[in-house]
Chains A and B, each alone.
Chain A
């Protein structure tokens, strides 16, 4: 009974803290602009199963990708056991989901095997992070906090898995001793349970209890640390993939506000037909974090700084300042900085800083070739080029600021209908004197 009460109190405290964190992020999310209407649930589910649960994009780096996939799939299976533990903790039951029979055996057995596989994967990740020099984990945007975050998260997962296997082994040993029926199948823990053979029954039960509490308390702690670290992707990745932009990577989002203005310019009589609404005094493009869309913000919250985007970016690869990962991290950092003020004082709140320039320089923005390698590589469908183009839109349309050559480009298109200084009269020069063999 005491165990139940203690457990319930801890669960409630964890939930309250978690909800508080989520509420804060939700308030920030509410500050952002519209991105696109969420439709096509069928296609979205398909993308989610393929990219998130199938880990298809993670496998673009097959070796290290496999280990990530093992951790992810392990997490999904082991989640079942965690839910059972919460039920057991609340109601004082033991193995409360055992009534599922063969399915229970299957899930528990998978969880037990995955526990070991996750331990192996995490050890590989830790070794790689600590001892081998992985280029994509470096970069100007990668501050010590990112590395510490990563190592803390990896260690926590490691302890979670060790406590899980420990708990299972002790359970198996204890039940065998008591000659009581064992619920679930434990391929890994069964073999390990013999280490308890020399211990007293009391020690085994104590070990079981310690493992049980360690495991569940770590889950509560982990869940509450994640939203404050880059490992928030554990929660955000699947929803972010579900909410992917479904358009082809090459397509940019149309600015309808501009369409209204251009139509008016091309055909002034349409004023009477289609009066401009005065409801959107929004600025064109993105200058600061309140201009980003909810999708940009979800992308930023989901980013785990793996650096696959930057590792394929032609600009980054050739030593330019642009790093797509930094763009996403900057959006997140800026929201963390300005978000509280915006929530408190409203959308007009100004702290004399902005995402553009104080975080992201013009040089970075003008380095992008819009090749979409970054967006294509991102394992959770983050779209960097859209954010970059929206910031260029602000620069060009609100500040008339662009590299000189691009201003000439604009002039040429406007005056000659071509990016170069050629007359439209010469458009057919290519077609003179073309000969072809008679078929």
Chain B
């Protein structure tokens, strides 16, 4: 099999050449800086390149959407970030944005329009599910070797934006064994990291939310816990470590599972 190195196209370069991509891939801060989640950004970029999708990223010009600031009550900081991001996106004439992080997805899709940022914002799972339906991605179901997968719904895809179908539809293409946790879809329990909790110690209680959720995932007997959010990934991975299960049970993002199934 032949492999090639891919260069991620940068918006400013394309713009200088007078080109415009079909999609802007919004990498997000976790995709850019979190060691573990970087692999998810890479996986999605590989899938995009594999399908020859015409995309670009903002690169150094990308800046935090302002989500954690806004949910922590700092509306001023959020709006400063948002207005600057919107200016930049509009300056490049961006129409369609692909996101991997559900928090970025939610804020770009639902909250930026209030400040004049009107884009078609597509979550990567919606995008990939459509590619599969269109026959652009075909899997060898044996690649994941009969893995049993359970999917943890991120709050900002599920309850916040009613995206429950696509992740499950993709996973069912990857394995015949998709199992559900007791609390799933709109009943899903949060991983504990939303609303800026990711960046602070949890308030005093008798248990960590991520442990409660990891225990629930472990009860399904799945050997892969699929996530679709950088914060959920941090939490579930931590939960597996806490339960000393990180050897037998793996936490992967759906994009990574696709990369494995395609042997990219």
Contact = CB atoms under 8 A, between A and B. Distances in A.
Contacts of B29: 418-420, 422
Interface string B114-140: 110000000000000000000000000
B6 to A, nearest CB: 5
B115 A259 contact: yes
Interface in B77-95: 77, 79-81, 83-84
Contacts of A394: 73
Interface stretch (B46-54, B171-179, B242-250): B46-54
Contacts of B7: 431
Interface in A351-383: 363, 366-373, 376
B73 A251 contact: no
Interface in B155-206: 155-156, 159-162, 186-187, 189-190, 192-206
A321 B186 CA distance: 24
Interface size class of A (residues with CB under 8 A): 35 or more
Contact of A263 (B83, B111, B208, B262): B83
Contacts of A366: 200, 203
A251 B114 CA distance: 10
Contacts of A247: 110
Given A318-B212, A437-B263, A369 B190 contact: yes
Nearest to B200: A405
Interface stretch (A93-101, A194-202, A337-345, A406-414): A406-414
A430 interface: yes
A110 to B, nearest CB: 32
A371 B59 CA distance: 30
Interface string A395-439: 111000011011011100110011110101111111101111111
A402 B187 contact: no
A262 B200 contact: no
A410 B81 CA distance: 11
B71 interface: yes
Given A250-B110, A252-B111, A431-B57, A405 B195 contact: no
Interface in B1-59: 1-8, 10, 27, 29, 31-34, 38, 41-42, 45-46, 49-52, 57, 59
Contact of A437 (B3, B59, B75): B3
B218 interface: no
A322 B197 CA distance: 14
Interface in A259-308: 259, 261-263, 265-266, 284-285
Contact of B209 (A265, A369, A397): A369
A402 B201 CA distance: 12
A425 to B, nearest CB: 6
A420 B33 contact: yes
Interface of B: 1-8, 10, 27, 29, 31-34, 38, 41-42, 45-46, 49-52, 57, 59-60, 62-64, 66, 68-77, 79-81, 83-84, 106, 110-111, 114-115, 155-156, 159-162, 186-187, 189-190, 192-209, 212, 262-264
Interface of A: 60, 247-252, 254-255, 258-259, 261-263, 265-266, 284-285, 312, 314-315, 317-322, 363, 366-373, 376, 385, 389, 391-397, 402-403, 405-406, 408-410, 413-414, 417-420, 422, 424-431, 433-439
Given A396-B74, A428-B57, A438-B1, 13 more contacts: A259-B83, A318-B192, A318-B212, A319-B205, A367-B202, A410-B74, A413-B68, A425-B60, A428-B8, A431-B7, A431-B8, A437-B262, A437-B264
